[in-house]
Amino acid sequence: MNRNDKILQYLEPKRQAILEEEGVDVLDGKTKDILDCKVVFMNAALQCSEANEEDFKVIQKDLAFYLNITDSQVHYYLERHLARYKESAEFRDLSDKWKEKFCGFDSCNPKETYKEALGFAINNASERLCKKILSMAIECDYIDKETVLNKEELKVGQNE
């Protein structure tokens, strides 16, 4: 099987999942309200491919092939993802949701992916956002609901 076939085999089920659940075809590039599902798709596919233990890893060039755009456009979209992720709670929720779902598709450990997201948030976000992420972790049973983090523990988490 050549690389292009592997790319299609890896990304097509993920595209179909977003199409069915969000009603947005990432190949059309349409947006849903303020949420650019193409950007979310690209980020989630790259992060989950990196996290899985398979030999095949999707890279930016593969996304460019699949979406029929240039490598520079992929880079631009991923930069835009980072900016939107920091700015919009709604975008962040959608991005985290699809990253977790894609990891589930790839049989990755969503808890490990979640730990990475929490580490990113601790380093780049406000205490309020960290508490929201902690609440989400409790809802998903990633951590025990009796767990309470104070500022000192958040700093320890930041150092780890």
What the block records as the tokens of 145 is 């609901």
Radius of gyration of the chain (CA): 16
Q: What is the pLDDT of residues 104-154, one digit of tens each?
A: 776 665 555 556 666 666 676 677 777 776 666 666 666 665 555 555 655
Angstrom CA distances, 92 to 43, 57, 70, 95, 129, stand at: 12, 24, 25, 5, 11
Q: Which amino acid makes up residue 125? A: A
**Nearest-angstrom CA–CA distance, 36 and 24:** 9
pLDDT attached to residue 108: 60
Instruction: Tell me if 42 sits within 8 A of 49, measured CB to CB.
Output: no
Q: Length of the chain in residues, anyone?
A: 160
Counting other chains too, the contacts that 87-91 makes at CB distance below 8 Å and 24 or more residues apart are 88/34, 89/132, 90/33, 90/34, 90/35, 91/34, 91/35, 91/40
| Range from 1-5, 101-105, 153-157 that averages highest in pLDDT | 1-5
What the block records as the tokens of 74 is 């992929």
**Nearest-angstrom CA–CA distance, 160 and 157:** 5
pLDDT band at 63 (very low <50, low <70, confident <90, very high): very high
**Nearest-angstrom CA–CA distance, 124 and 20:** 32
Instruction: Tell me if 92 sits within 8 A of 125, measured CB to CB.
Output: no
Which single residue is written with the structure tokens 């972790």? 137
Q: What is the pLDDT of residues 7-45, one digit of tens each?
A: 989 899 888 988 888 887 888 755 555 447 888 889 988
Note the pTM of the prediction, 2 decimals.
Answer: 0.64
pLDDT attached to residue 65: 93
Residue 104 CA neighbour count, 13 Å, CB half: 8
pLDDT attached to residue 99: 86
